[in-house]
Structure 1
């Protein structure tokens, strides 16, 4: 039996809250802007929750001795917050926004499509793109963090 602790924010269904803003961006053409903004609130609350969780665990780690808990916790807080904001909110939100916007332009130009298809096609394309962008964005943010924040902090 594996005694490894399950990371609530990375290894459970709660992880999907980090993608709330991507869903909001994909649905932007068919829902009120306030709902899109609310989706960002959900994603940012997820980021803050993960940041607090990892920071507290680092601070309480008995292996960190000699009064270095605050320094280690601060580094963890910065790392988790920057990584999550980039990988879960800013970059994927922008990409899904642009994919949905572009699909909307193309669907409006396609006069052969029924009006319901012109309305919903951008949203469907945006939603379909979400699983395709996650891993490349995560890897790119890891790469960038390894060469910047993690290298110098």
Structure 2
């Protein structure tokens, strides 16, 4: 079941922090005819300057164990462009992301893998646990973002900015980003993927060994079942049933560490070309630009969202965001 690194390269104007050059210009049919308004927010020019960002991380060595760490990223990045004093970054322990509680986010994947062994309510319960974790994490990130916004916006008082409203919008955007990312990348897509893997494995096992017709079971499999049954003093049918349930379960569990990062990176890229840039621009129009937030700077927005670069197609922007996230793994 919920960070990014910046690199300095000679990339096209406005595309910062990407570890590769973008693909050649896309065909005319793939280019967008409508561009988002970027550098002028709320009728004022936004100052541009590169800012470092982090996106998905594991531990200090890049390891997350059998169940890798998932993190939708630090959205929004509530930093004031010119604060009266520097606000140090807090590297605090997050029990929902760094501790054992994060394993609750994998409950539905384990539930799908163990579906053959669980009672009828087992799989739905596993999804309820995973979704409960997602909403708990969402609430936690909302209040943390609210606290950070209140602290940093205190250095950027502006008569034209409703600080109270802006802090709530920033926290709400962080919560929205977290819940959407988590529900897609930690619940829906991985759960469906494990379900399909288990179903396909079971179908291949049944058809390959002919377990559905005991009289036609492959001789080698029948001999194996008979040997194990004699050793354990149990019926042959019991051994056959255990094998039928165990192999798909093993395949489902074994697939989890391999599907996590590709799914995470794909969802990250999808949000970077869809929801996130619109949410960022909305925040900047609602006072983020007037308050001097770094996240509203033109270069920062293009760095975070290549889709906003004038000559970047949707395919190029998706590829850029995907590769950016993939560099940490």
User: Smaller-chain TM-score range?
Assistant: over 0.9
Partner residue in 1 for 2:208? 110
Residues 71-100 of structure 1 show CA distances to partners (whole Å, capped at 9, x for unaligned) of 111111110000000011000000000000
Higher relative contact order (CA 8 A, sep 6+): 2
2:267 aligned counterpart, secondary structure: helix
1:82 aligns with 2:171: no
Alignment of 1:1-153 (within 5 A): 4-61=91-148, 62-65=151-154, 66-67=163-164, 68-111=166-209, 112=218, 113=221, 114=225, 115=240, 116-153=242-279
CA distance in 2, matches of 1:7, 1:151: 26
Quote the offset at 1:69 in angstroms: 1.1
2:152 aligned counterpart, secondary structure: coil
Quote the offset at 1:3 in angstroms: 5.9
Larger radius of gyration: 2
The alignment covers a number of residue pairs equal to 152
Structure richer in helix, relative to its length: 1
Structure 1 unmatched ranges of 5 or more: none
Residues 96-121 of structure 1 show CA distances to partners (whole Å, capped at 9, x for unaligned) of 00000000101111324441222211
Residues 46-86 of structure 1 show CA distances to partners (whole Å, capped at 9, x for unaligned) of 10111000000111121135221111111111100000000
Q: TM-score, normalised by structure 1?
A: 0.93
Q: Root-mean-square deviation (CA), in Å?
A: 1.5
Q: Where do 4+ consecutive residues of structure 1 move more than 4 Å? A: none
